[in-house]
Amino acid sequence: MSKSIAGPEIERLIQLLGKLPGLGPRSARRAALALVKRKETLLAPLARACTEVNEKVGVCTVCGNVDTVDPCSICRDPRRDESTIVVVEDVSDLWALERAGAMAARYHVLGGVMSPLDGIGPDDLNIRGLIERCRSGRVGEVILAVNATVEGQTTAHYITGEIAGLKADGIDVTVTRLAHGVPVGGELDYLDDGTLAAALKARTRF
């Protein structure tokens, strides 16, 4: 808004809400108004939740996950296989894998992918920490669960090279990646050629 209509407090709230992903200036105004209208049930709890998360939540120094404890509750969980590390780009990918609940492993959050065009090199990511974890000798397998983009695959290749370099020190870690194929419930007609080719190539016995 070019001029202040509802006072600086609401304007500030609208401005901050507009910085959230998925909210533009218009929906930020709608969200702010919804908050003002529901002060007791929404605004006050949101203020408390934001303050609480701000005070308590931090980044896990081991894996890069966000949690109220450090190391995070996943890194502390004794039921999880310590020898398997799933490498993801972002915490949101970690959450997606946890929702799927497919694997009781540990994680390592890179915090992005290598992207020379954006000036993001390996040193800007949490790769050094991953190599250190491998160096501890307790890691048997690293599963690269990075996105199937050019940047993701470049990062995967770099990490594979770094882990292969550990063999000189007598440390042998298996590096795997997620399978490519037809999404469960997906229709062939809508799939891209690359996925179809990969699914054909990696066909399994029925």
Binding site for a second copy (CB under 8 A): 1-3, 5-7, 9-10, 12-13, 16-17, 19-23, 27, 29-37, 39, 42-47, 49-54, 56-57, 65-69, 73, 90-92, 94-95, 98-99, 101
DSSP 172: -
Residue 58 or 121: the one with the smaller Cβ distance to a second copy is: 58
Residue 1 or 164: the one with the smaller Cβ distance to a second copy is: 1
Least distance from a second copy to the Cβ atom of residue 14, Å = 9
Return the residue matching tokens 């039921």: 79
Strands (E), 46-163: 58-59, 66-67, 81-88, 105-109, 141-144
Instruction: At 191, list the tokens.
Output: 């799939």
Alpha-carbon distance 163 to 170, whole Å? 11
Residue 32 or 199: the one with the smaller Cβ distance to a second copy is: 32
Residue 47 or 150: the one with the smaller Cβ distance to a second copy is: 47
Task: Write down the number of H helices and E strands in the chain.
Answer: 8, 6
Return the residue matching tokens 């992903």: 21
Least distance from a second copy to the Cβ atom of residue 27, Å = 4
